[in-house]
Amino acid sequence: MADDVLRRNNVRVSGSGTQPMLFAHGFGCDQNMWRFVAPAFEDEYRVVLFDYVGSGKSDLAAYDAKRYSALDGYVQDVLDVVHALDLRDVVFVGHSVSSMVGVLAANREPDRFERLVMIGPSPRYVNDHPYVGGFERGDIEGLLEMMEGNYIGWANFLGPAIVKNPDRPELGAELVESFCSTDPVVARRFAEATFLSDNRADLPGVRVPSLILQCSDDMVAPLEVGDYLHREMPGSTLRVMKATGHCPHMSHPEETIERMREYLRPAHAG
């Protein structure tokens, strides 16, 4: 069973440390997106990378439309990997939607997780006055319709806008390529589960300390979202990065690594 999960989710383990650091990629991406950040922690941690079913080099035959119609399916992927490797005291590093996947996983099995590191998190993308999520519901529905009617056009439009940093067009092109390598039906269902989710009620129950890394100019998760998360999550630390865009682990890996180390070193000192 454990070996099945490791194959299904294309799990890769590296590093010489003992404490696990589990990296979870965002929507439309795969574990390769961590290549600028994860190696920096291999001397101190047991680094675990994986692909959600339906992403990267996971086993697409294991994809179940019902399971992955909500974030709970992705939460179960994380917990399956945690159990397969019998991970404890996990430092969970999640990008974008995976930040909320981490919240839900830690709420379900808090004894397995030591800390959450959330990069560009959002508990709800749709505005709900007075809450500011960054999008009107019609905006999200329009993007979902565009995915169905013109997936390549959707990817070419959204990839560069999400990454920002127009002086480095190769980053946006990489995200577009990642989007386009994902099955459009799987991507559409993952997008709906991501962008129409509302996990605000899950935040006050988090018992695991967390770091919120908020980019200074992010169209997906504006500054108000980071402030909201910090207010609602007990034991959270908010750091606003100089990095712009929604993918600082790709565009600004040095700052991402430094912010993570600043947070983790005091916690693990001695």
- 96 catalytic? Reply is yes
Task: Find tokens 């959450």 and name the residue.
Answer: 116
Question: At 163, is the secondary structure helix, strand, or coil?
Answer: helix
Q: Active-site residue among 96, 98, 99, 251?
A: 96
- What's 179-246 look like in SS3? HHCCCHHHHHHHHHHHHCCECHHHCCCCCCCEEEEEEEECCCCCHHHHHHHHHHCCCEEEEEEEEECC
Annotated catalytic residue, options 51, 55, 95, 246: 246
Among residues 30, 51, 202, 218, which one is catalytic?
Answer: 218
Cα atoms found within 13 Å of the Cα of residue 249, Cβ hemisphere only: 27
Q: Is 51 among the residues known to form the active site? A: no
H helices present in the chain, as ranges: 2-8, 71-84, 97-108, 137-149, 151-163, 169-180, 184-195, 223-232, 248-251, 253-268
In the three-class reduction of DSSP (H, G, I as helix; E, B as strand; rest coil), residue 48 is classed as strand
Catalytic (active site) residue 14: no
Give the active site residues. Answer: 96, 218, 246
